[in-house]
Amino acid sequence: MKYPDNILEVGSLLPDYMGFIFWEKSARYFDGVIPDLPKSIKKVGVFVNATQDEILEKIIKYDLQAVQLHGQESVNFCQDLKNEIDDSIEIIKVFSVDDAFDFEVLKPFEVVCDYFLFDTKGKLPGGNGTTFDWKVLEKYPSSKPFFLSGGIGIEEMDAVNEILKTNLPLYAIDVNSKFEIEPGLKNIELCRNIRRDALQCVSIDNKIKK
């Protein structure tokens, strides 16, 4: 999210999470003011190889309830950050996935992160607008809940529903580029449609992040 009026429009739909990108190279880079949102919406700061001080500063400035680490942050970095932030602030560690992804790399992160997020491996750290082959998730060895990201649109909801029929701990779907008019500006009608469709096909425990 990027523009105050648009933030309020999408906020009226009550997504469970709302993301703000603090990576300056992103077309969705956010450096504005977040308007007052319903308390049920968790504000997520998205970072790419930021320093701990930078993350802590943004947590305080924007009253973030979650931190999404989209770079090459190490286990030690995540542990140090976890030690510095309030227990109520969630840490979401992102992994870029392709057909050759080795799920063994996740094990050391299980104790230092609240959630994993699986995005499509591409040229950029995120926001590539394409899906990876979700069949690779059949190899997921963990019980750690995860966000599913990467080019998810209305047409992917049937496939999401199929994942929900399995034992995979899918916690949230992360939607972005397929609901945009331009980077950071969401199409409110499309967002309303995904909210409706998601509520029809996902369980009450699953979340939506925009």
* CA dist., res. 171 & res. 144, Å (int): 9
* CA dist., res. 198 & res. 201, Å (int): 5
Write out the two tokens for 118: 């699986």
Residue 194: Cβ within 10 Å count:
24
* β partners of residue 90: 66
pLDDT, mean over the chain: 91
* β partners of residue 170: 146
Per the CB < 8 A criterion, the answer to whether 89 and 64 are in contact is yes
* CA dist., res. 209 & res. 168, Å (int): 19
* β partners of residue 148: 118, 173
User: Picking from 25-34, 49-58, 159-168, which range would have the lowest pLDDT averaged per residue?
Assistant: 159-168
Mean pLDDT of 91-95: 97
Global pTM exceeds 0.85: yes
Q: What is the DSSP letter of 36?
A: P
Q: Are strands 170-174 and 146-148 parallel, antiparallel or unpaired?
A: parallel
Residue 121 has pLDDT above 90, yes or no: no
Task: Quick: pLDDT tens for 130-187.
Answer: 788 999 999 999 999 999 998 899 888 888 888 988 999 999 999 999 999 999 999 9
